[in-house]
Structure 1
Amino acid sequence: MSAQLITKLPESGPDPITTDLPGWKVVSGTPSMKTWILHKAADGSMISGIWEAMPGTYHTTYDKYEFVHLISGRITITPDGGQPIEFNPGDAFAVEAGFTGTWVITEPVRKHFAIRLA
């Protein structure tokens, strides 16, 4: 049997990851996150899913490329040494491997993500 070449993702799934992801450290408030990995590429190169977070501030370090589509909520992302960028519902953006900076979550967030693993 060949691999499925197109997959419709559900809105979420059972059993989210509820711990803070590697590279994410709380610096203000009491934010929390949930991550649902809803699909893994057949060749192991990508994952995609849904991420939710409650208000607060994280400092994060990215070691992989991520594409994001913000479904709801508001975030201000500031690269270390850079200028803040605001993101609102409907915005899409990419974060390159090597990024370090803060995510200020001002309203509860729900986003689609796709992360390149290899």
Structure 2
Amino acid sequence: MSYIKKIIDKSVAAIDTDLEGWEKISGTPSMKTWIEYTSEDGSMIAGCWEATEGSYRAEYKSWEYIHLIEGKVKITPEGGDSVTLLPGDSFVIEAGFTGTWEIEEKVFKHFTIKL
């Protein structure tokens, strides 16, 4: 068994449909997801995600760690203050988050999700 898995595997096919719980609310954004790692017990996944300019309303059922590689996004939780994130920023979104992702510049991120 290999204990190291390289992320950003160009041979992994992209999923080009919107994620469950994500609804377009402005513009014509599109997204692609590459799931490049799944733990043996299925409790964690990791990979890359990109999205074009526009806005989504998002509902999170799971915890997610994100490292933003490219782009600019403003995330606003329902009833909360917005946060603008830029390349190099790392952050966590807790399970139960509901709010908006306003993608101001095309985004590319690495993610790890605890299912």
TM value normalised by structure 1: 0.93
Residue 12 of structure 1, CA deviation? 4.0
Which string of whole-angstrom CA distances, capped at 9 and with x for unpartnered residues, describes residues 66-111 of structure 1?
0000000000000000000000000000000000000000000000
Give runs of ≥4 in structure 1 deviating > 6 Å. Answer: none
In 2: Cα distance, 1:12 partner to 1:78 partner: 32
Query: What is the DSSP-based 3-state SS (H/G/I as helix, E as strand, rest coil) of the residue aligned with 2:87?
Result: coil
Could you tell me the percent identity over the aligned residues?
A: 52
In 1: Cα distance, 2:76 partner to 2:42 partner: 30
In 1: Cα distance, 2:40 partner to 2:2 partner: 8
Unpaired runs of at least 5, structure 1: none
Does the 8 A contact of 2:34 with 2:47 survive in 1?
yes
Query: What is the DSSP-based 3-state SS (H/G/I as helix, E as strand, rest coil) of the residue aligned with 1:83?
Result: coil
Does the 8 A contact of 2:8 with 2:48 survive in 1?
no
In 2: Cα distance, 1:13 partner to 1:67 partner: 23
1:103 to 84, 94, 101: 101
Instruction: Say if 1:82 and 1:13 are closer, same or farther in 2 by CA, change over 3 A.
Output: farther
Which string of whole-angstrom CA distances, capped at 9 and with x for unpartnered residues, describes residues 28-72 of structure 1?
000000000001112211000000000000000000000000000
Counterpart code for 1:53? A
Alignment of 1:65-104 (within 5 A): 65-104=63-102
Counterpart code for 1:76? K
1:24 to 10, 22, 28: 22
Query: What is the DSSP-based 3-state SS (H/G/I as helix, E as strand, rest coil) of the residue aligned with 1:81?
Result: coil
Report how many aligned residue pairs link the two structures.
Answer: 115
Question: Structure 1 residue 114 and structure 2 residue 106: aligned?
Answer: no
Counterpart code for 1:71? I
Corresponding residue for 2:62? 64
In 1: Cα distance, 2:11 partner to 2:85 partner: 25
RMSD of aligned Cα (Å):
1.1
Moved more, 35-44 or 91-100: 35-44
